Amino acid sequence: MKAGEIHIGASGWSYKDWKEIFYPPKLAPTGYLHYYSGHFGFIEIICQQPLVLIFGKVALARTLFSALK
């Protein structure tokens, strides 16, 4: 990141309340992460342990979840 840049993301992507507001009505929940990544470059992932991880690339979220399984 360069100084002065602003990056916007959210603390998740699977909120049911976002359907029809952010996500298209016919989009299945399995497509939410892909759709989200087309609009935002950042996502915050909070694990159950007292650990907060912030990734600059949403694609890394899939890698993280694979590693945690």
The per-residue pLDDT for range 33-52, each reduced to its tens digit, is 889 888 887 777 665 554 44
- Report the amino acid identity of residue 33: L
What band does 16 get if pLDDT is binned at 50, 70 and 90? confident
Instruction: Give the per-residue pLDDT at 5.
Output: 77
Residue 3 lies in a domain: no
In whole angstroms, what is the distance from residue 56 CA to residue 43 CA? 7
What are the distances in angstroms from CA 62 to CA 2, 7, 34, 66? 25, 20, 10, 6
For residue 52, what pLDDT is reported?
47
**pTM for the whole thing?**
0.59
State which residues form the domain around 27: 9-68
39 compared with 5, residue with greater pLDDT: 39
Q: Looking at the 3D structure of the chain, how many domains does it have?
A: 1
> What's residue 51's pLDDT?
46
Q: Is there a domain that residue 1 lies in?
A: no
Q: Which residue has the tokens 């916007």?
A: 8
Helix, coil or strand: residue 43: strand
